[in-house]
Amino acid sequence: MNKRHIVFFGIIIILAGGILFPLYADHVEIIEISGPITPVTAKYISDAITRAARNGAECLIIEMDTPGGLMQATWAIDKKMLEDKVAVVIYITPSGGRAASAGVFISYAAHVMAMAPSTNIGSAHPVTMGGGDSSKVMIEKVTNDAVAHIKGLADKRGRNAEWAERAVRESVSITEKEAVKNGVADLIAEDISDLLEQLDGREISLGEEKRSLKTLGIEIRRFTMDWRYRVLDKISDPNIAYILMMLGIYGLFFELSNPGSLFPGIVGGIFLLLAFFALQVLPINTTGILLILLAIVLFLLEIKITSYGLLTIGGVTAMILGSLMLFKTPVFRVSLSVIITFVIASAAFFVFAMGMALRTHRSKATTGKKGLMGEKGEALTELNPVGQVAMHGEIWKAESTEKIGKGEKVIVEAVEGLVLKVKKMQD
């Protein structure tokens, strides 16, 4: 075999090794989920599972602490986990954390469920996960669908299906010790090192294949959200979405009030577009949005109509109610402090604008015919009854019902066309 053959076979071996290398896992990957489950969260977890499978990770560990979230996003995460492309370990952490509502379904879909000390899991009633039609029949349908889904997950992963049904129907919740005792969770781990030690040698099913995890002393690769996910995640926060919507409405209002300003209109348009993105991700209540818009209309009417504060009171009431009703589920709601801040600021601004409008309406005119009423001038010629007067550096034709001598002071009583009706000003 000559050198050319040796080089050729060497390249083939190297390429084959590069292709086959991912089949031999040498690391675990870790991501963190903290907060409500949204479509952004679902996309982040889905991408993390795909990346872990592509990189040949031994398993993907998801550190989770969530109060719940949207049903549609939760179902998407479960579906991705059930593809069995890579072993997924849900680790409910830190101490004091929980996996409530949507977190229960996601935990049940994982290959392994671990919990840190002083954590809990439960309260998975679907009403807290979505909203929508609140009729008794619809709630029953959604509940039955959720029960069937979680029982299917329990059957596939070998977990307690009876408790899972109670978590959905009765919103029961248990601690980490009770979860392990009742076959809900697999193990309790103090930290990641303890978790990896306990995972070593644990047998899991990936599709039709049975395999044992090898995690003792393995390399840990932790992945954090990149800027795209962070931006989308922040925008999807109910408080941020609410602030963006209000600022967008005010920006467009200022632009329409002062056409050509450009800056308020551009900024307001950008804020509204970002708010629309967030609102299509979040479970919004149409009645809440309509009440907020009604509040803005009432504030505007207060400027035009003297209602002695009744329209402002109505606007404040509508804005508070609309803000509280804006989102359908308790998991996604606007902070009361944010609502109060915007309501007070809105009411104060429109009351100030109303005061300025009333002051302008009541102030004496300074231009046109009304602006000449009551102005003082000096007779340039004798008025008997017609003559000329000087006023504001201008010479006007004037008429008087009494004889006025040249140089005497006069005051304007009326204006007819370009002729001033004046009278002699008394000392």
pLDDT in tens, 183-212: 999 999 999 999 999 999 999 999 888 999
Domain ranges within the chain, ordered by starting residue: 3-228, 235-362, 368-424
53-57, 151-155, 232-236, 291-295: which range is least confident on average? Answer: 232-236
| pLDDT: which is higher, 95 or 7 | 95
Which residue shows structure tokens 């979040």? 282
| CB contact at 8 A, 108 and 159 | yes
| CB contact at 8 A, 120 and 174 | yes
CATH homologous superfamily for 3-228?
A: 2-enoyl-CoA Hydratase; Chain A, domain 1 (3.90.226.10)
Q: What is the mean pLDDT of residues 15-34?
A: 68
Give the pLDDT band of residue 36 (cuts 50, 70, 90): confident
Phi, psi of 175 (to 5 degrees): -80, 175
| CB contact at 8 A, 319 and 346 | yes
85-99, 106-120, 231-245, 273-287: which range is least confident on average? Answer: 273-287
Tell whether the model's pLDDT for residue 63 goes beyond 90: yes
Average pLDDT, the chain: 82
Residues forming the active site: 101, 141
Q: Give the pLDDT score at 116.
A: 96
Q: pTM for the complete prediction?
A: 0.66
Instruction: Return the amino acid letter for 235.
Output: I
243-252, 282-291, 304-313: which range is least confident on average? Answer: 304-313
Tell whether the model's pLDDT for residue 131 goes beyond 60: no
**H or E element, residue 211:** strand 209-212
Q: Give the pLDDT score at 128.
A: 42
What burial letters (b/e) apply to 359-371, b meaning 16+ CB within 10 Å?
eeeeeeeeeeeee
What burial letters (b/e) apply to 158-186, b meaning 16+ CB within 10 Å?
ebbbebbbbbbeeebbbbbeebbeeebbb
| CB contact at 8 A, 92 and 107 | yes
Rounded-to-integer distance, Cα 299 and Cα 349, Å: 9
Tell whether the model's pLDDT for residue 374 goes beyond 80: no
Alpha carbon 70 to its chain centroid, in Å, reads 14
Tell me the sheet residues that pair with 33: 64
With 0-12 CB in 10 A as exposed, 13-18 as middle and 19+ as buried, what is 10? Answer: exposed
Q: Give the pLDDT score at 140.
A: 83
The 8-class DSSP code of residue 191 comes to: S
Tell whether the model's pLDDT for residue 13 goes beyond 80: no
| CB contact at 8 A, 130 and 72 | yes
Tell whether the model's pLDDT for residue 159 goes beyond 50: yes
Specify the CATH class of 368-424 in words: mainly beta
Instruction: Return the amino acid letter for 127.
Output: V
DSSP, residue by residue, 63-125: EEEB--B-HHHHHHHHHHHTT-SS-EEEEE-STT-EEETHHHHHHHHSSEEEE-TT-EEE---
Tell me the sheet residues that pair with 397: 388, 419
Q: Give the pLDDT score at 75.
A: 93
DSSP three-state, residue 223: coil
**H or E element, residue 205:** strand 203-206
Q: Give the pLDDT score at 23.
A: 43
| pLDDT: which is higher, 148 or 40 | 148
Q: Give the pLDDT score at 19.
A: 45
Q: Quickly count helices (H) and strands (E) in the chain.
A: 15, 16
DSSP three-state, residue 2: coil
Give the pLDDT band of residue 360 (cuts 50, 70, 90): low
Rounded-to-integer distance, Cα 256 and Cα 347, Å: 19
DSSP three-state, residue 284: strand
**H or E element, residue 203:** strand 203-206
Instruction: Return the amino acid letter for 296.
Output: I
121-125, 201-205, 249-253, 405-409: which range is least confident on average? Answer: 249-253
In 10 A of CB 204, how many CB atoms? Answer: 19
**Pair of tokens at residue 95:** 């101490």
**Percentage of the chain with pLDDT > 70?**
83
Q: Give the pLDDT score at 129.
A: 42
103 closest CA partner among 184, 177, 49, 182 = 184
Give the pLDDT band of residue 382 (cuts 50, 70, 90): confident
**Percentage of the chain with pLDDT > 90?**
35
Q: Give the pLDDT score at 212.
A: 93
Tell whether the model's pLDDT for residue 401 goes beyond 90: no
Segment of 14-28, 90-104, 139-153, 398-412 carrying the highest mean pLDDT? 90-104
